[in-house]
Amino acid sequence: MKIHFLDLVSHQSKGNTPGQRGINPPRLLLESFLVFIALGACLLKLPFATVEPVTWMEAAFTATSAVTVTGLVVVDTGSQYTLFGQLVILTLIQLGGLGLMTFAVLTALALGFKLRLKHQLVAQEAFNEISLQTARRAGGSIALFALTAEAVGIVLLGLFFVPELGWIEGLYQALFYTISAFNNAGFSLSPESLSSYVDHAGITLSVTALFITGGLGYIVVMELLEKRCWSRLSVYVKVILLATLLLNLFATAAVLWLEFANPATLGALDSFGDKLLASWFQGVTPRTAGFNTLDIGALTAGTSVLMLLLMFIGGAPNSTASGIKVSTFVIMLAATRSFLRGNLDVSFFKRSLSRETVIKALATATIGMAVVFFGVLSLSILVEDDFLDIAFEVVSAFGTVGLSRGTTGELGAAGQLVIMAIMLIGRLGPLTLGYTLTVRRKSRVRYAKTEFPVG
């Protein structure tokens, strides 16, 4: 029997043994994340995990940021955490980056629960349609994909770090940045992130290749490697690749234009090649990667606002990235275009989308905007800071990006709790949160249609 992983619904199967309950995979995923956060906080609070003792709030914030692959920190990772503490953070990043629905389904199967199925939303976020019997094999394939990409990343970064830092430190830095980059975590061993390598093409391009690959996800990369021909690719993969390319090129050109004369950013670089390289990095990193080679706090207001949009969009479904996802953004644009042209059908490459898919995109974007609004409202009450800095912090947390204009260190306990909640919501995904909090029941009632003015 074939299933859609996003359509697993909490329900007790007829064949269940007495006392065995049905399971809601999104809720199980939320509970699993909370367990990992609690466990990570306890490990990071151990005396030998830090150079100087950290508070429980600081440990919990770091664990949440690592599990949600965000990268916002209130304690510097490289100087305040020991090797043990850093390895705990890397482990949490790897667990958080395995993929939401993969993790949920494999956990449910491992626990031996029987899941009843409903075919409702045709979702590409998971693995299209695969049989329940091959779910474990699919999970193994995803793990192999991640480990292979990370192995390549370690080799590439090792070529640059080892000559500079020596074998042991160089390989460790390559390991740390590879896992952090592929999982779009943005954790760095330096408080300036990768700013010291702003003109280093090898490290810059290797890190961007890693987080772009992770942000594209398993489906896109595997289909691209398998079919190797544009005409043979599915509509979904074509849309993701084309949208990612256009967004990255647009963002790079915009950063280059907006920051070219800024003496605190691109203006401080000598050659046009270095400016272009830095513009590329700052243009693609807001898509939930979280690294930076320029001072984010020194960016112009225009660049910061552009980054707000990029962070909100995020990466591809079923990837290590978050945000509302590229697919949602493209569907919303396509639906708007179709409406303005007087066409009720939304289509890509001569294929129409179902009404359910369009409504799902609308719901995802709406929930995302609501989370950002209430986050900005809450921080505006709790933290005295510039509005743009507060909005940047909230959107960065929601998109699990990890970039900050300096607000993270000024949050206070209450503000940190707000950001922790937003990071968790952003990693789970707006729609997954909706599934978690509500039980979907398809109504059999149909009402007469009515006209309703909009706009």
For the stretch 91-104, pLDDT in tens is 999 988 876 556 64
CA distance 118 to 9: 7
For the cut 70, the answer to whether the pLDDT of residue 127 exceeds it is: no
Higher pLDDT, 166 or 316: 166
* Contact criterion met (CB below 8 Å) for 397 and 423: yes
- Using one digit for the tens of pLDDT, what is the confidence trace for 243-275? 999 999 999 999 999 999 999 999 999 899 999
CA distance 77 to 191: 8
Percent of the chain with pLDDT strictly greater than 90? 57
Closest of 255, 251, 253 to residue 265, by C-alpha: 255
Q: What is the pLDDT of residue 126?
A: 37
Q: How many residues does the chain have?
A: 455
CA distance 265 to 295: 7
* 352 membership: H or E segment, kind and range: strand 351-352
Which class for 438: exposed (0-12), middle (13-18), buried (19 or more C-beta within 10 A)? Answer: exposed
For the cut 70, the answer to whether the pLDDT of residue 113 exceeds it is: no
Phi-psi region of 302 (alpha: psi -120 to 50; beta: other; left: phi over 0): alpha
Task: Name residue 369's amino acid.
Answer: M
CA distance 163 to 315: 33
For the cut 50, the answer to whether the pLDDT of residue 124 exceeds it is: no
Q: How confident is the model at residue 10 (pLDDT cuts 50, 70, 90)?
A: very low
CA distance 277 to 17: 60
Backbone dihedral angles phi then psi of residue 133, each to the nearest 5 degrees: -65, -25
* 62 membership: H or E segment, kind and range: helix 56-67
CA distance 409 to 422: 16
In the chain, DSSP finds a helix count (H) and a strand count (E) of: 17, 6
* Contact criterion met (CB below 8 Å) for 361 and 330: no
User: pTM for the whole thing?
Assistant: 0.86
Backbone dihedral angles phi then psi of residue 228, each to the nearest 5 degrees: 55, 20
SS3 label, residue 122:
coil
* Contact criterion met (CB below 8 Å) for 5 and 127: yes
Ranking 57-71, 338-352, 356-370 by mean pLDDT, the lowest is 338-352
